[in-house]
Amino acid sequence: MTDWTPMTARASAWFEDLRNQICAEFEAIEREAGSDAAFQYDPWKRSEVDGEVGGDTGGGTRGLMKGKVFEKVGVNISTVAGDLQKDFAGTINGASAEQNAFSATGISLVAHMANPHVPAVHMNTRFLTTTKAWFGGGADLNPPLPYEDDTEEFHAEFRAACMKHNPTYYERYKKWADDYFYIPHRQVHRGVGGIFYDHLECDDEAAWERNFAFTQDVGRAFLAVFPRLVRRRMGMEFTPADKRQQLAWRGRYAEFNLVYDRGTLFGLKTGGNIDAILMSLPPEAVWE
């Protein structure tokens, strides 16, 4: 059986580097808007779960900024390991009540914007091991006031990243995002989509290298495209009606993350930091 520890360490280092690049870019945007807002970083240790005691089961860092452009943006990284709760293990690829050891490392980002013309966004990538090892992740754009050119540019960046690795990836992972980021009780999509992939399995080290390279390019695609969209829209005038639409849309975003999002459930079931897990919730929302 492959020892994935060195690969987990490499993936963790990449996620931290990507976090640093993204946060620096977001802070640069705040400076351009005349704001001195900066990320505040809070480290945390994984909680005891399902009777675990002793040992280092990992943790992470929650990065949070509230500024003039980014009303609330969280960029979290974590690397954790231990045993899954036995009644939850069967829902995770390669795990069971009898074989419930796991490790996970990843980055998770959600940005809620002050100007309703600027789209909110979600991005995460991760590497997990149980009896199997795999990558997952993606990004999706969530505009309260959609612009067709923003949507196309966002998708084009991820299409190009996918095409570097496999000509089937973009259509497959775009459809996966469309299917996943859907609110059944509202019968609407959460936003205008993007890509989403999971269980990109690593049968050996060569497969790990291929999948890691793809996952890195997903992160680079996000870093390339989203700041461009922010700069394009952040100075636009907006009306009270525009803001109201943004707040109503945020209510639906919150509904999805609390009711359907698998990442939220995984974090809660594996002893994650509550503030980091729920950083995806908007700072203000309305339900009408």
Residues catalogued as catalytic: 122
Nearest C-alpha neighbor of 151 from the set 191, 101, 108, 180 = 191
Q: Strands 40-45 and 58-65, how do they pair? A: antiparallel
Q: Which residues of 172-201 are buried (b: 16+ CB within 10 A; e: fewer)?
A: ebbebbbebbeeeeeeebbbbbbbbbbebe
Is residue 281 within 8 A of residue 254, CB to CB? The reply is yes
Distance CA 226, CA 25 (A): 10
Cα maximum dimension of the chain: 59
Distance CA 269, CA 276 (A): 14
Distance CA 17, CA 185 (A): 38
Burial of 249 (0-12, 13-18, 19+ CB in 10 A): buried
Nearest C-alpha neighbor of 72 from the set 107, 26, 106 = 26
Element (H, E) at 214: helix 205-233
